[in-house]
Amino acid sequence: MPAIVLNISTNAHKECLDLTGAVRQAVRDSGIKDGLCHVMVLGATAAVIVNENDDPNIGVDLLRALDTAVPEHDNWLHDRIDNNAQSHILASMLGPSETVPVVDGELLLGTWQALMLVELDGPRQLRRVSVQLIAGQ
Contact 50, 116 (CB under 8 A): yes
The CA-to-CA distance between both ends of the chain, in Å, stands at 14
Structure confidence at residue 123 (pLDDT)? 98
pTM above threshold 0.75: yes
The predicted pLDDT at position 134 comes to 96
pLDDT on residue 37: 98
pLDDT of residue 20: 98
Query: What pLDDT, on a 0 to 100 scale, did the predictor assign at position 2?
Result: 85
CA 108 to chain centre: 17
CB-based contact 131:4 (threshold 8 Å): yes
Amino acid of residue 37: C
Segments of the chain scoring below 50 in pLDDT: none
Residue 48 has a pLDDT of: 98
Q: Which pLDDT value is given to residue 68?
A: 97
CATH number at 14 reads 2.60.120.460
CA-wise closest residue to 113 among 13, 39, 10, 2 = 39
pLDDT in tens, 77-112: 998 999 999 999 999 999 999 999 999 999 999 999
Per-residue model confidence (pLDDT) at position 79: 87
Q: Name the domain count of the chain.
A: 1
Which residue range(s) make up the domain with 70?
4-135
Separation between Cα atoms, residue 105 and residue 10, nearest integer Å: 29
